[in-house]
Amino acid sequence: MSSSRSGAMFVEQLRHVPLLRGLTDVQLADLARTARTHRFEPDQIVFLQGDPGDTVHIILRGQVKVVTTSRAGHEAILAFLADGESFGEMSLLDDLPRSATIQATTMTTTLSLRKVDFHKLLREAPDLSLRLLRALARRLRETGMLVQDAAFLDVGERLAKKLVSMATEAIELGVTVPGSTRVSGPAIELRVTQQDLASMIGATRESVNKSLASFRTRGYLAVGRHRLSILDLDGLRSVVDRALD
């Protein structure tokens, strides 16, 4: 990890971060002076579950995954966070250790704020507090949905639901692969490993591999090294719809 002091050169960049929209030029300049930038390599750990928490990070560019680990060493991926999203807030709000491990999945640049500066910004910018609360509420809903899915859906159904969700996000970001002939329109590429998928839905890698093989046979997707191409999104949606009926 490398870090450097932020300065006025970051003000314009900060202006385009969704979480910081609405801040005045003075507030953005203060933020640029007090914050630090950090750069993380793919697979590099930002912090570990159980570490003391004294900073919040805003992702300027890149992606991280939020991971929890049991005492037996089993891993569960709670979320992937990307440009404009933040992490590490909980420890600054409840003064408890980090509740999850954060690991970069791509080259990632973040802006970090110390606890005292973060609290000052929240007091001075009520709109920021509301956006932060909405983000935390969304993550809480998503965690609740994971528990519900684990109780009522089998592995194949959970996997289909997760792939549909990831594909929908990819469509919004324009991540497609030209040349698909299975369905009208391009295929949707997802850069994800089978182990990551297993960790996201609370299943074993073997059971995920079995479900992927079934979806591949039905023409729903193609499996590559560390990536999937969704060829028939409606087919995957039909698996989810039948499970939820």
Give the model confidence (pLDDT) of 141-151 as tens digits: 888 888 888 88
**Percent of the chain topping pLDDT 70:** 90
Backbone φ, ψ for residue 73 (5° rounding): 95, 5
Tens of pLDDT, residue by residue over 88-110, are 998 988 889 999 999 999 999 99
CA distance 188 to 157: 19
Backbone φ, ψ for residue 164 (5° rounding): -65, -45
Within 10 Å of residue 153's Cβ, how many Cβ atoms? 18
Give residue 9's pLDDT band: very low, low, confident or very high (50, 70, 90). low
Q: Give the per-residue pLDDT at 175.
A: 56
Tens of pLDDT, residue by residue over 160-194, are 999 998 888 877 766 555 444 344 456 788 888 89
CA distance 17 to 10: 11
Q: What is the three-class DSSP state of 35? A: coil
Q: Give the per-residue pLDDT at 77.
A: 87
